[in-house]
């Protein structure tokens, strides 16, 4: 995709008119028109930087120095529901039970590549059927954002002694009681009170589930 096409695509995605973009980068609407049409291709570097900032991208992307996922035999930029994805690698920390807790293996040599917009720190492979009503099935990859505390009702990865499980968490401070609730009526909640809480550690909040197609 040429630089002018990128400017036009990003401007339209941001719902900014040529006039508005021109004002943001200290030029004229006519110049923006010429950039987008490819009439002017030798755009000054300082203006490219201003345009990139205004369109929430980088000069490297506009100049073609970064990988452009829109450049292919099919022009993906024509489709409004197709967006670029920035990916990161998350460590896969073994398997986590959706049912009876299982040993929390740590397979740090394994990584999963995911969209970085989830804000996850690591991921776990789900086993069992206790969270099926939350849309989490055996074999799914669950993305976890590390946190020692979660809000009541949130799904969390929880360590019980040396075992891990995935459940909705409910903590009742006045009763010093923790309830780990499954999302399948076949499973009874796990209840911990007083000193029993010393055996519990919350790893983090579940933020997304990746399913196999």
pLDDT at 148 over 60: yes
Which residue from 120, 136, 123, 118 is spatially nearest to 95, judged by alpha carbons? Answer: 123
Average pLDDT, the chain: 81
What are the tokens at 187? Answer: 């499973």
**pLDDT tens profile 83-134:** 555 666 766 666 666 655 444 444 444 667 777 777 888 888 888 899 999 9
Which residue from 91, 114, 128 is spatially nearest to 203, judged by alpha carbons? Answer: 91
Catalytic residues, by residue number, are 130, 167
pLDDT of residue 102: 45
- The range of the structural domain enclosing residue 168 comes to 90-210
pLDDT of residue 97: 63
CA 132, CA 130: separation in Å to the nearest integer? 6
Q: What is the mean pLDDT of residues 126-147?
A: 89
Q: What is the mean pLDDT of residues 181-206?
A: 91
pLDDT of residue 147: 86
- CATH at residue 13: 1.10.260.40
- Are 128 and 70 part of one and the same domain? no
- CATH at residue 168: 2.10.109.10
- Are 56 and 102 part of one and the same domain? no
Q: What is the mean pLDDT of residues 146-161?
A: 89
pLDDT of residue 143: 87
Which residue from 151, 128, 148, 126 is spatially nearest to 208, judged by alpha carbons? Answer: 126
Domain annotation covers residue 177: yes
Is the Cα dihedral 85, 88, 94, 100 positive or negative? negative
Domain annotation covers residue 85: no
Domain annotation covers residue 205: yes
Distance of CA 203 to the CA centre of its chain: 18
- Are 29 and 101 part of one and the same domain? no
Phi, psi (deg, nearest 5) at residue 97:
-80, 135
């Amino acid at each position: 995709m040429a630089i002018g096409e990128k400017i036009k695509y990003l401007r339209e995605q941001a719902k900014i008119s040529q006039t508005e973009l021109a004002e943001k980068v200290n030029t004229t609407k006519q110049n923006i028109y010429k950039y987008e049409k490819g009439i002017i291709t030798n755009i000054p570097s300082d203006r490219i930087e201003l345009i990139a900032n205004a369109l929430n991208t980088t000069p490297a992307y506009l100049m073609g120095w970064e990988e452009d996922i829109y450049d292919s035999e099919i022009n993906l930029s024509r489709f409004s529901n197709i967006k670029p994805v920035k990916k990161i690698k998350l460590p896969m920390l073994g398997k986590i039970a959706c049912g009876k807790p299982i040993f929390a293996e740590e397979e740090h040599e394994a990584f999963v590549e995911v969209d970085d917009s989830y804000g996850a720190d690591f991921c776990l492979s789900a086993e069992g059927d206790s969270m099926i009503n939350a849309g989490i099935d055996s074999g799914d990859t669950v993305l976890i954002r590390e946190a020692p505390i979660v809000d009541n009702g949130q799904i969390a990865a929880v360590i019980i002694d040396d075992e891990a499980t995935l459940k909705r968490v409910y903590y009742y401070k006045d009763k010093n009681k923790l309830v780990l609730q499954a999302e399948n009526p076949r499973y009874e909640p796990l209840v911990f009170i007083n000193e029993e809480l010393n055996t519990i550690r919350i790893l983090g909040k579940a933020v997304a589930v990746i399913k196999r197609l």
